[in-house]
Amino acid sequence: AFQVKIASTGEVFDVEPGMTITETLEMNGIYIPTSCEEGWCGTCMTPLLEGVADHRDTFLSDSERYEGKIIMPCCSRARSDALVLDL
Ligand code: FES
């Protein structure tokens, strides 16, 4: 598991294996708009303030991945222990 923190509120949630970030947040009443839920449409794009994403999408460009300031939370996960989302 890794943790996701909501920057605006300081809330922290554990994202368990088999659960996506968006599913985990939804269970806690935080709704990120989604559509494809497979990483190709771009609907769920979310600014990333801290942490290193494990990008599983096919939407972001190589330079966006390298810069590390955006994550597609419907499918991507974390390489670091925690991600801080600008929500
Ligand atoms: Fe389509 Fe996340 S919902 S990329």
Q: Tens of pLDDT along 38-85? A: 999 999 999 999 999 999 999 999 999 999 999 999 999 999 999 999
Ligand 1 centroid from CA 22, angstroms:
10
- In this prediction, residue 42 carries a pLDDT of 98
Q: Could you tell me if the ipTM is greater than 0.85?
A: yes
- In this prediction, residue 61 carries a pLDDT of 98
Pocket test for ligand 1, best of 34, 46, 48, 85 (most atoms within 8 A of CB): 34
CA neighbor of 44 nearest in space, from 53, 54, 31: 31
Q: Give the three-state DSSP class for 30.
A: coil
How many residues appear in the chain? 87
DSSP tag of 36:
S
Q: Report d(CA 80, CA 23) in Å as an integer.
A: 19
